Amino acid sequence: MRIAKAMARAGLCSRREAERWIADGRVNVNGQVLTTPAVEVKPKDRVLVDGRPLPVAEPARLWRYNKPKGVVTTHNDPQGRPTVFDSLPPDLPRVISVGRLDFNTEGLILLTNDGELARHLELPATGWLRRYRVRAKGRVNAPELEALKDGVEIEGVRYGPVEVAIDTMQGANTWLTVGIREGKNREVRKVLAHLGLEVNRLIRVSFGPFQLLDLKPGEAESVKRRVLADQLGAELAEQFGLLDDREEKPQAKKPGFKKVRAVKERDVNERGDNDHGRKSYGGKEQSDRRSPPQRDGKPRSAGGRKGTFQKGGPRKDRREKP
């Protein structure tokens, strides 16, 4: 495994940050300071970061976090502004963000202890829609918004398809719902400015299948491992250590008839013929009692000839003697 990937999997930083740390001489492998990230490390190699052993990678975890307005999504800000990570709940381990929101944007951010998981989720190739509620000054018409579905080029930068719907109009402002999949720097603000709209409030309300819901600003809530595993699929869930002996792998398909039938047949085999004289045939229970005798190819009724049988054996002929 490449050293930058190993550092990201351990939750120290993103892969990109790991490369910068290596360039700064902060990483040592088997007593040698690295100068390039093009180094493979093995489980037995001794890796030190800032003089401390590389932490053992733990199973990946994910949190939903409501980012307040007026903080930046970075661990260290050169301008000294407050960061998301300065005021996280104390019970969270060291985490990194899945993508970023700018200083004045609020709403949902996903946090994880696994840099490789963060990298996977934030890639446009993942295809997850980021949805925003936007308040903007100005007016826009439907044809202009419809044209954004094919993407737009602004100042030499090509933006992918953008979904925009008008919700309400309040005075000089318009509330819209905007959906994007790439998440380029200040993408929503730039696309709407291209239409003559000035964004004065921007709230991310969902990231793929994960939603902001009723989280208050500054609150974080853990996503259940089972939920995350189902969203990633079996292969990635296993790669990120989301499965253990107590949890079955997420099913690509619903269990089929063969599995259900096998359970029934096993239950029948365990029950055997001692279940009150009943046997199972094709999943249906039938009595072990023999069928009534037949005569001339036709079934003979249990009662037989009238007056022949009664409970407790044959009865005497009741005809009067002459």
Could you list the active site residues?
Answer: 102
CA angle centred on 233, ends 232 and 236, rounded to 5°: 70
Q: How many CA atoms lie within 13 A of 178 on its CB side?
A: 28
CB atoms within 10 A of CB 125: 7
Instruction: Compute the radius of gyration of the chain from its Cα atoms.
Output: 34
Contact between 210 and 114 under an 8 Å Cβ cutoff? The reply is no
DSSP of 197-228? -EEEEEEEEEETTEE-TTPPTT-EEEEPHHHH
Burial class of 31 by CB neighbour count within 10 A (0 to 12, 13 to 18, 19+):
exposed
- Angstrom distance (rounded) from CA 259 to CA 310: 48
CA distance 174 to 168: 6
Which helix (H) or strand (E) element contains residue 169? strand 163-170
